[in-house]
């Protein structure tokens, strides 16, 4: 998409294993986000969602990770080709990131105000950094901005830490905000407030948002489009409404069956059988085949590619069967 703020093309990210060498944790992933759009990236823990975000930012949690191929086009520039100095100029100013655990990413030795102001100084903010910091704190819906700015992370609640982290990510008004599980470990009321805040920020600034989550309820409420990941690959993408109405990949159908709703509260809870494969246990064919009720010999031998459907795309040889309805119905739902 030529008008996309972010256009990731065939991204490959590898982790080094002491016995097996370099193994793909993100494998041939493509996605795009337009200005003002909220795009969800969903899947089980360990499917590669966070590593996709770290690859975009080139901020890996371990030196044993590397980008091995593909393109990450941000406003037309390939971030993977930028020298380290230029990439530092993009982080914070062009792309902001909300990390999963604010307690891990906030410095316990700095006040919240100093941490929110840090990107302003790093990117030579033209205005008054202190005034901008207080403005950001107020935008986050936090009370008594001058007092809160002088507090340290251990002196505030989890929701206040998360809002401070969002303020830091939004300090320089980036064009793209990457939110990696932004409501993890927060109570339901605070979760709703954080999500409302992100919607408000999108409306005010027009920023595009990549929302990484495993919570399909959050996706239904927040996202315009959705990419579903499994074992390092995108297996389905569509508009949110179309994906929830008629999912076409067996894994997506399984994820939706696993959610709790008022309509299914009286029934037994469904779970997709089996577990996501480890990096050393990737089969040569479809990675979901060992857990899929539709899997045939072709699935175990060939890796299906994303193919366009009447709406969206899916990587499955049996999308005609999934179009007829829920393939997991006989499995307990």
Cα(80)–Cα(69) distance, integer angstroms: 9
Phi/psi for 82 (5° steps) reads -80, 140
Which class for 103: exposed (0-12), middle (13-18), buried (19 or more C-beta within 10 A)? middle
CA distances for 322 relative to 232, 313, 325, angstroms:
22, 13, 6
pTM of the model: 0.92
Contact 41, 210 (CB under 8 A): yes
**Locate tokens 């990737």: which residue?**
282
pLDDT along the chain (333 residues), means of 10: 83 92 95 96 93 95 94 96 94 92 90 96 90 93 92 93 92 94 81 88 91 92 96 97 96 90 64 89 89 94 95 96 87 47
Please choose, from the candidates 323, 234, 309, the residue with its C-alpha nearest in 3D space to the C-alpha of residue 9. Answer: 234
Cα(197)–Cα(179) distance, integer angstroms: 12
Two tokens at 171? 């300090």
Contact 227, 243 (CB under 8 A): no
What digits encode the pLDDT tens for the residues 198-247? Answer: 898 899 888 999 999 988 999 999 999 999 999 999 999 999 999 999 99
Cα(164)–Cα(249) distance, integer angstroms: 38
Phi/psi for 301 (5° steps) reads -110, -30
Cα(226)–Cα(212) distance, integer angstroms: 10
């Amino acid at each position: 998409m030529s008008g996309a703020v972010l256009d990731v093309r065939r991204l490959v990210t590898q982790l080094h294993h002491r016995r097996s060498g370099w193994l793909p944790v993100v494998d041939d992933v493509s996605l795009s986000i337009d200005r003002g759009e909220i795009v969800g990236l969903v899947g089980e823990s360990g499917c590669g969602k966070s590593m996709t975000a770290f690859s975009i930012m080139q901020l890996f949690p371990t030196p044993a990770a590397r980008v091995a191929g593909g393109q990450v086009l941000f406003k037309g520039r390939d971030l993977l080709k930028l020298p380290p100095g230029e990439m530092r100029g993009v982080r914070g100013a062009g792309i902001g990131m909300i990390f999963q655990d604010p307690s891990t990413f906030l410095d316990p030795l700095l006040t919240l105000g100093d941490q929110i102001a840090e990107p302003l100084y790093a990117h030579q903010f033209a205005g008054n950094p202190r005034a901008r910091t207080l403005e950001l704190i107020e935008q986050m819906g936090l009370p008594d901005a001058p007092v809160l700015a002088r507090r340290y992370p251990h002196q505030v609640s989890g929701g206040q830490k998360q809002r401070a982290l969002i303020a830091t990510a939004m300090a320089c008004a980036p064009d793209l905000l990457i939110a990696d599980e932004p409501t993890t470990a927060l109570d339901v009321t605070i979760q709703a407030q954080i999500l409302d805040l992100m919607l408000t920020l999108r409306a005010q600034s027009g920023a595009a948002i990549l929302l990484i989550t495993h919570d399909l309820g959050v996706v239904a409420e927040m996202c315009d489009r959705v990419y579903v990941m499994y074992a390092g690959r995108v297996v389905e993408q569509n508009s949110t409404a179309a994906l929830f109405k008629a999912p076409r990949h067996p894994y997506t159908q399984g994820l939706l069956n696993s959610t709790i709703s008022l309509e299914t509260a009286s029934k037994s809870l469904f779970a997709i059988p089996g577990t996501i494969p480890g990096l050393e246990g990737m089969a040569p064919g479809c990675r979901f085949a060992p857990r899929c009720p539709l899997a045939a010999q072709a699935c175990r031998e060939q890796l299906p590619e994303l193919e366009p459907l009447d709406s969206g795309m899916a990587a499955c040889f049996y999308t005609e069967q999934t179009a007829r309805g829920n393939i997991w119905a006989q499995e307990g739902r």
